[in-house]
Amino acid sequence: MRRDPVRVLAVGAIGCFIASLLLPAFDLPLFGKVVTIRGWQATAAGLDLLTRASDPRGFLLGASAVANLVFIAAPLLLWRAPSRRSVLLLMLASVAGLLLALAAPHLLDRPPLIRSGYPVWIAAHVLLLAALIRRLRALASCSGESAS
The radius of gyration of the chain's CA atoms, rounded to the nearest angstrom, is: 17
Domain that holds residue 104: 5-139
* C-alpha atoms less than 13 angstroms from C-alpha of 144 in its C-beta half-sphere: 6
Residues of the chain with pLDDT under 70: 1, 52-53, 81, 143-148
Q: What is the pLDDT of residue 148?
A: 41
Written as one letter, the residue type at 127 is L
Does residue 148 form part of some domain?
no
Does residue 128 form part of some domain?
yes
Instruction: Say how many domains are in the chain.
Output: 1
User: What is the pTM assigned to this prediction?
Assistant: 0.82
* C-alpha atoms less than 13 angstroms from C-alpha of 143 in its C-beta half-sphere: 10
DSSP 82: -
pLDDT tens for residues 65-82?
777 888 877 777 777 767
Q: What is the pLDDT of residue 78?
A: 74
Q: What is the pLDDT of residue 144?
A: 61
Q: What is the DSSP string of 103-136?
A: HGGGGSSSPPEE-THHHHHHHHHHHHHHHHHHHH
CB 84 within 8 A of CB 124: no
